[in-house]
Amino acid sequence: MSLGLFLLLVAGLALVGWLTGRARAGRFTGTGTDRPHSLPSYHGWYVALWALAPALLFLAAWSFVSPGLVDAAVTATPQSAAIRIAPADLTNEVRALGTGALTTPFHPEVVPLVPVFQRVQTHYDVIGGVVALLLAFAGGAFAFTRLRPDFRARTRVERLVMAALLGASLIAVLTTLGIVLSLLFESLRFFARVSPIEFLFGTLWSPQTGDSGTFGAVPLFWGTIFIGAIIAMIVAIPLGLMSAIYLTQYARPATRRWMKPILEVLAGVPTVVYGYFAALTVAPAIRDLASLLGIGGASSESALAAGLVMGVMIIPFVSSMADDSIAAVPQSMRDGSLAMGATTSETIRRVLVPAALPGVVGGVLLAVSRAIGETMIVVMAAGLAANLTANPFASVTTVTTQIVQLLTGDQEFDSAKTLAAFALGLVLFVVTLLLNIVALRVVKKYREAYE
């Protein structure tokens, strides 16, 4: 019997607690100062939460404790003593066979231990489930005995909900903190072996050799800026801004209703699909165009191919922010410009766009931070060569692509080659964080001006 079944039983007890608590509170009567403090539904939720919370906390803790107990019981059997395998490998293989994650054993001698594992696992699952049910019943009964007309059930429930919301917020903060600390720790290990000056200002990137002087990340930084912040923005900013202007100023309401969702669908297309399109359609077309124009050194993997497709991908980011910014400009400014004799195009160019410029800039900065973190399009269309070149038809690479390459496969986390990925991630994290901070400050300033 798995813990999932006991979890359903605990949820059933919580439901019963909610119904009984609500029914009991519904019989409370009184008027004026004697009227019940909280509605019956709050009393029901109070009982349900007391039945649910202790049991869930115990099951969460038991899910971490029980695997160790099961492994200890399996390795303590006489059958396991005769098997010459490391205990950790033995328990992992037996667990994989017992749960169905592995169908063919690597060591046939562990097969007799699979029924033992399943029996012990069921035993500890039953123990954990029964204790959880007892906790749910005890918690619900305790809460039920506290119900009375003057009991402040609403206050207790709202405090618990606020604590849950605070915990959810802290999870996001602690996750970000954990990411930063892990990047800092591994990056410090890398910089203990490679000079930060060499890493940040060196022009030769060849980490596979591991030699001194081969960890210069300037070609990666340039490739990231060249593809994500130059070529992609040349495509995304004009198209995104012009589409926003059309949808807010020229398009009929019926046209806007179906064109805007279609445009925003681009943001939901998986990046691997854009990568396939860039590698199979755009990159060969650009290579053939370069050959037709007599441009030498054109490659089937080029910065231009990746940048063009990436620019199309982030058009919705620019367009959506520009659309909201232009639509938020007070109608009186537009009417005043038209009343002074300006045409629609002059009003857009000289009044609406300047007024909405802070919001547009914020959208552009957010789009840039999205572009420089893109991986799949660059891997499939721009190549892996760390070239410091301004030729858009040449193959280049980016920071995210190199991170994937350095951490793919069976790698040793003690080498400078692998640790370089964390240093690159730290630089990318800092740059993206700064761009988002600047964008949010710009947008905040815009909102203060026009709300």
At 99-151, the pLDDT tens digits run: 877 777 777 787 888 888 888 888 888 888 899 999 999 999 999 888 888 88
Q: Is residue 299 pLDDT above 70, yes or no?
A: yes
3-state secondary structure of 407: helix
Of residues 356, 277, 351, the one with CA closest to residue 309? 277
User: What does the pLDDT look like over 7-27, one tens digit per residue?
Assistant: 888 889 899 999 998 888 888
Q: Is residue 450 pLDDT above 70, yes or no?
A: no
Read off the tokens for 23. Answer: 């029914």
Average of pLDDT values for 392-404? Answer: 86
What is the pTM assigned to this prediction? 0.68
The answer to whether the Cα torsion of 336, 342, 347, 351 is positive or negative is negative
Mean pLDDT, the chain, integer: 84
- Contact criterion met (CB below 8 Å) for 386 and 401: no
- Contact criterion met (CB below 8 Å) for 272 and 363: no
- Contact criterion met (CB below 8 Å) for 368 and 229: yes
The residue count for the chain? 451
Confidence (pLDDT) at 30: 62
Element (H, E) at 316: helix 315-328
Cα-trace Rg, the chain:
31
Average of pLDDT values for 42-52? Answer: 90
